[in-house]
Structure 1
């Protein structure tokens, strides 16, 4: 068994149709930095960082769960993550892949590393909200955020396996994705776990972890991830409320930081949002405001101008989940991958 390290470039790796080794990639990196388009420059920077003498890469977290910060990620851990993804999704050397995520964040970096390590034939395009527009090629493996998947429904028939991450897939998008011949997976992960550590087919409720990852939960019922091959501290304690099916599978409910305590009743906003999916034809989320009687009251935050929302819309909710107030915000604040910054938007 060959021990694959971050210095390896698979002999079947191709970038935009060209077979490249380590020296070729460094030359391409320099040309991207000097005369590449805006989206190519970060790729050049990343490739030079990847092949330098340091054993780690510095990465920025997305900021959806706090202030964005720079963390150091071990290069060998990224290789191990790429191998686990290849194993889980059955990727083989020569498989065609599309890179359409910004390389600024971990998901975009990992698409490149998977291709280099697993020997994928990678096309890369400018990250945009319509990444497959005008593309005729067929692909074995593509990663997108939900907005990109939503805008690529017509073209996704040309994709064998699609992974969608970065933000929650809405119920309406999930229905559309389930009609496709494509195998579509929703992924679960974060920068600290070097992109996804678990995935589930759309339409299913239960996430299954990747090889060499096990899970448990703490006294708050929050997920604890054990992944010695990819996490320096070996475990990450999350703020994600879950129900464990076994040490390899879990159901995700929502983030503990979002939980609303209204008159002693605990409400998980993400679950209320799922019930309302498809009933309001705008982007929205559930939040809370201080309330003298209840401590916190449930509020519905809707993007755009004021509009009438029929009270029957809320018939699907339990009594205590009903919003006590509706707030309209012209434009939500969000991360680049489409996660709402709930508190920042409300402020």
Structure 2
């Protein structure tokens, strides 16, 4: 059996309903790269980069925990990731798929690579917060960020399988998705692992890893990923997890977000999950320097100030209750829509 490489273009690949060979796709990409539209330029440049002689593509990280940076991702690793996704989600050649994510980031790039490798009939549309507006097509597979999903709920039944990444799925959105006929999956991903290495049905607690991945923990209880087909060596993350089995884990929070307040270690994401049922605005909790406690737990809410009733905090323990509340008119975000926690806290 021939090994699939980045030199190949699946014979069943289609773009916006048209059949392409590798040569005709490169020609179309040259035209796209000269477009006045940013999304078409990004698409064209990526296709030209994908089929050039280099074994890697340059990818911009989201900048969630620091400044965005450019890293080199091996093309063969991207092919391997696409194959693993196809197996995990039982995707076939000829499946109709939607790419509505920015191609300058890894998630958008990988939707294109999956189409090239697996032979999707791919619709490529400019990224927007309402990707299904004025679109009556039905899809076997799509990928979105939570904001796009929230805005697409009335049309979501047009998609059979949907993967959601870029940010956590809010419990309110989760509840809506559980009752939607679309099969929605939340993914665990990062640029360094060529997007997702695990996924779970929305509503479930544990992530299940994709093929050719093994997982363990370090002394901090953080996830360690071994993915020889995607990256060299073990990848040590800052994600605190609970290992359920050799192929399943529950995500608890970020080690670099942990707050040590008076000797009590608090995981912000666990507190936020409890508060998500009583606060409707976007928010997060964080620690700031405090002479007495070392770090003081604060609550930061997006929007205009308002009075918070005591019952908002009823699900929290004594140590989990914020010592102060700050309101910020508009949260700063990365290019992929993730909240820049550290930058916001520094500005308070």
| TM-score between the two structures when normalised by the length of structure 2 | 0.98
Q: Confirm whether residue 189 of structure 1 aligns to residue 189 of structure 2.
A: yes
- Counterparts of 1:337 and 1:206 in 2: how far apart (Å)? 24
Secondary structure of residue in 1 paired with 2:38: coil
Following superposition, which runs of at least 4 residues in structure 1 exceed 3 angstroms of deviation? Answer: none
Corresponding residue of 2:96: 96
Q: Confirm whether residue 241 of structure 1 aligns to residue 240 of structure 2.
A: yes
1:213-270 Cα deviation digits (max 9, x unpaired): 0101101100000000011x23210000001112211110010000001111111001
The CA deviation at 1:180 is 0.3
Corresponding residue of 1:22: 22
1:103-160 Cα deviation digits (max 9, x unpaired): 0100000000000100000001110000101110100000000110011001101000
Question: Greater shift after overlay, 274-283 or 215-224?
Answer: 274-283
- Counterparts of 1:243 and 1:102 in 2: how far apart (Å)? 32
- Counterparts of 1:71 and 1:219 in 2: how far apart (Å)? 27
Q: Is the 8 A contact 2:259 2:297 kept in 1?
A: yes
- Counterparts of 1:271 and 1:4 in 2: how far apart (Å)? 42
Structure 2: give runs of 5+ residues left out of the alignment.
none
Secondary structure of residue in 1 paired with 2:97: strand
Corresponding residue of 1:85: 85
User: Number of paired residues?
Assistant: 346
1:60-108 Cα deviation digits (max 9, x unpaired): 1111022211111110010000000000000000000000000010000
Q: Confirm whether residue 222 of structure 1 aligns to residue 222 of structure 2.
A: yes
- Counterparts of 1:104 and 1:267 in 2: how far apart (Å)? 35
Report the aligned-residue RMSD. 0.8
Secondary structure of residue in 2 paired with 1:280: coil
Corresponding residue of 2:287: 288
Question: Greater shift after overlay, 192-201 or 329-338?
Answer: 329-338
Corresponding residue of 2:63: 63
Superposed, 1:95-174 pairs within 5 Å as: 95-174=95-174
The CA deviation at 1:336 is 2.4
- Counterparts of 2:58 and 2:173 in 1: how far apart (Å)? 33
The CA deviation at 1:337 is 2.3
- Counterparts of 1:324 and 1:315 in 2: how far apart (Å)? 15
The CA deviation at 1:313 is 0.4
Secondary structure of residue in 2 paired with 1:320: helix
Secondary structure of residue in 2 paired with 1:154: helix
The CA deviation at 1:338 is 2.1
Q: Is the 8 A contact 2:212 2:227 kept in 1?
A: yes
1:257-287 Cα deviation digits (max 9, x unpaired): 0000111111100111110113112111111
Corresponding residue of 1:268: 267
Q: Is the 8 A contact 2:65 2:342 kept in 1?
A: no
- Counterparts of 2:320 and 2:251 in 1: how far apart (Å)? 19
Corresponding residue of 1:48: 48
Q: Confirm whether residue 210 of structure 1 aligns to residue 186 of structure 2.
A: no
The CA deviation at 1:35 is 2.9
1:13-68 Cα deviation digits (max 9, x unpaired): 00000011110111111110123522110110000000000111111111102221
Superposed, 1:299-314 pairs within 5 Å as: 299-314=298-313
Corresponding residue of 2:333: 334
Superposed, 1:307-326 pairs within 5 Å as: 307-326=306-325
Q: Is the 8 A contact 2:14 2:122 kept in 1?
A: yes
- Counterparts of 2:332 and 2:43 in 1: how far apart (Å)? 26
- Counterparts of 1:60 and 1:69 in 2: how far apart (Å)? 6
